[in-house]
Structure 1
Amino acid sequence: MEPARGATPGDDAAEALLGDLERLVQDVVRASSWWERHGVDCAILALSLFALPAGFLCLHFENVLVFAIGITILGVCHYTLTVKGSHLATHSALTESKRWSKVWMLFFVEVCTAFPAECGRYNHVNMHHGYTNVVGLGDSSTWKLPFLNRYVYMFLAPLLIPILTPLVALERLRTMELWTALRTLGLISLGLYSQYWLLLNVSGFKSPSSALACMLLIRSLLAHPYLHVNIFQHIGLPMFSRDKKPRRIHMMSLGVLNLPRLPVLDWAFGHSIISCHVEHHLFPRLSDNMCLKVKPVVSQFFHEKQLPYNEDSYLARLGLFLSRYEEFMVHAPPITELVGLQ
């Protein structure tokens, strides 16, 4: 891995740079309406909820095309609620109310995603965002399965995500307080059983096994890009040690990558996970729509200040990971030499 090179300002100058960028972004946020700050993303999530009955009804028909449409509707809606909804709710980006932020986090993370909300928030917000690309803390290492070969990992392992998620959730319940564990177990059970019940009673599946198989198909529809995106945007970029990491603006410019706009993934995962990941890591409480709105400001600032602004295509990253899988996903990543950043 190439070391970070080039003379950069010291700590005070780095803080000043970040302060300048924050002021520019806050100007954009203050000039934006509620619809731009929260409404657009809330509308996308609401449309996904309202589309669910149509998806379940489509599965009732024997026509293959109509059935495929139903699977597509339910699969895309599932990932919109579980990935986009959970991500925004975890960052309290859906509303400025603390109480409603808590409610939405429980709904999207526990009911929809079948994972403990507190664990998800700690792992993502406290660790991944707090220690982005710091080896062993926020380096996306939870996605590494070094005992799998590249083709199994990249193309077969994603199909296990819908099964592993509730199993990992059950394991995490052991570490939680009794009341929190019972609440989490109840909400996860509610979400899973609701989908199962609707497949039996609305979609008309005749047997539990067929309904469970359909649940797996729906929850696996976008599992491949979900896994890929989680590794593409950090692994393979500069990695740091806890005691030798750069200031925040340099850490995010070096260790985070944006993918191009991809319509289906923009809708289901959100701009902050796809094309505005750099902006999201710098300003994690902004909604997806606001990350997209401030992106020109951030990219122009980075280019003017000669800071790295990482961008690459989905196919290019896929090819890179297939060709360098052993280096990125099996061996421990080397610590980047922080030339000029100490």
Structure 2
Amino acid sequence: RRLCRHSRRGDESLQGELEALVHDVVKASSWWERHGVDCAILALSLLAVPAGLFCLRFENVLVFALGITILGVSHYTLTVKGSHLATHGALTESKRWSKIWELFFLEVCTGFTAEYANYGHVKMRHGYTNVIGMGDSSTWRLPCLNRYVYMFLAPFLIPIITPLVALKRLRDVEVWTALRTLGLISLGLYSHYWLLLNVSGFKSPRSALACMFATRSLLAHPYLHVNIFQHIGLPMFSLDKKPLRVHMLSLGVLNLPRSPVLDWAFGHSIVSCHVEHHFFPRLSDNMCLKVKPVVSHFLQEKQLPYNEDSYLARFRLFLSCYEELMVHTPPITELVGLQ
């Protein structure tokens, strides 16, 4: 018991030391660095939508493909980056505006329920990172699929599955919340469909729906891959034997290299600064990038893991070890002396 208390005090001391270092960086940063950069990216993505819709009016294949690309990247920037930042309240310091942006990005743009996203992502995945049965990313496992179907074909189902899962979750919320969510999801989906018919000039509902699917699945593959690469395959813990917070996060989270497209569409906190994001989830993407040298240096100085790997290396790992990582229950990591 004394050893446990000593370990906990040591963990709190490490956390406090790191928080003080990061707090100094945040305090010295301007509003533009804390929130403005990411708000500008989201605004530009929203403003790019009319250009994408207009490109779809042309019969030229290259111009049409440009329209699909603009709409697809804009869609993922609003739904992944926007929803992620809004869920964590990282877009603004106002609680009221945080809730408004959360409903807009999650329910209108993404077609998913804000309440369940907050519970599943913030409370479970962040609260119990890599704890078996709680924050172990098990929602991404589909044991019925083989490795090639999962890695190459399953991502195409994401635009279809997302609103269906949201509808299923409506049974677990209050009636007013369910009606609000249903209305906002319907508004988002119908607006997309209406714009394709009336602005882009699609002649049939089938062609408009096909275009919706194409834009909403444009970056579905890296979206699924990134979500599994950064946690699955790293140490997993049981609830009663999980290490203390600093060790749990340094062991159970991984950064991928920077990528211009993914950094823009998904955000630094999901791609190249995922470790920093788990330590400081309320920081914006730009601030995660700014504090990255501080966090990496601190962990390495304290001889704690700072996990980084390439997208290609993780892809090869998941193809070669798919059964172990994605089908069977992962083994629990025993960390003697850290509990």
TM-score w.r.t. the length of structure 2 is 0.98
Q: Counterpart in 2 of 1:235?
A: 232
The secondary structure found in structure 2 opposite 1:270 is coil
Residue 15 of structure 1 corresponds to which residue in structure 2?
12
Mapped to 2, the partners of 1:248 and 1:39 lie a distance apart of: 30
Residue of structure 1 equivalent to 2:281: 284
> 1:123 is paired with a residue of what secondary structure?
helix
Q: Secondary structure at 2:172's aligned position in 1? A: coil
Equivalent position amino acid for 2:53 in 1: F
Q: Please name the residue that 1:137 is paired with.
A: 134
Residue in structure 2 matched with residue 6 of structure 1 by the alignment: none
Give 1:11 shift. Answer: 1.8
- Displacement after TM superposition at 1:15 (Å): 1.1
1:185 aligns with 2:182: yes
Q: 1:210 maps to which residue?
A: 207
Equivalents in 2 of 1:295, 1:328: separation in Å? 28
1:147 to 144, 147, 171: 144
Deviation at 1:338, TM superposition (A): 1.2
Q: 2:324 aligns with which of 323, 327, 330?
A: 327
Determine if the alignment matches structure 1 residue 116 to structure 2 residue 113: yes
Q: Deviations over 1:111-134 (max 9, x none)?
A: 000001011111000000000000
Which aligned segments of 4 or more residues in structure 1 are displaced greater than 4 angstroms? none
Are 1:82 and 2:79 counterparts? Answer: yes
Are positions 1:57 and 2:48 aligned together?
A: no
State which of 280, 299, 303 in structure 1 corresponds to 2:300.
Answer: 303
SS in 2 for 1:163: helix
Q: Provide the alpha-carbon RMSD of the alignment.
A: 0.6
**TM-aligned CA deviation for residue 339 of structure 1:** 1.8
Does residue 37 of structure 1 match 2:73? Answer: no
Cα deviation, 1:180-234, whole Å, max 9, x if unaligned, reads 1000000000000000000000101110011001100000000000000000000
Q: Residue type of the partner of 1:305? A: K
Distance in 1 between the 2:298 and 2:227 partners? 26
Query: Comparing 171-180 with 282-291, which one deviates more in the overlay?
Result: 171-180
**Alpha-carbon distance, 1:174 to partner:** 1.4
Give the Cα separation in 1 of the matches to 2:231 and 2:200: 40
- 2:257 aligned with 1:260, yes or no? yes
Q: 3-state DSSP class of the match of 2:22? A: helix
**Distance in structure 2 (CA, Å) of the matches to 1:276 and 1:16:** 23
**Superposed displacement of residue 294, structure 1:** 0.1
Alpha-carbon distance between aligned partners in 1 of 2:79 and 2:48, rounded to the nearest angstrom: 15
Alignment gaps of 5+ in structure 1:
1-8
Q: Which amino acid aligns with 2:329?
A: A
Task: Tell me the equivalent position of 2:3.
Answer: none
Quote the residue 2:173 is aligned against: 176
TM-score w.r.t. the length of structure 1 is 0.97
Question: SS at the partner of 1:134?
Answer: coil
Contiguous gaps of at least 5 residues in structure 2: 1-5
Distance 1:82 1:237 in 2: 27
| CA deviation vs aligned residue, 1:48-98 (integer Å, no higher than 9, x gap) | 000000000000100000000000000000000000000000000000000
- How far apart, CA to CA, are the structure 2 residues paired with 1:171 and 1:256? 29
In the comparison of the two structures, how many residue pairs are matched?
334
SS in 2 for 1:260: coil
Q: d(CA) in 2 for partners of 1:340 and 1:260?
A: 32
Q: Distance in 2 between matches of 1:285 and 1:170?
A: 28
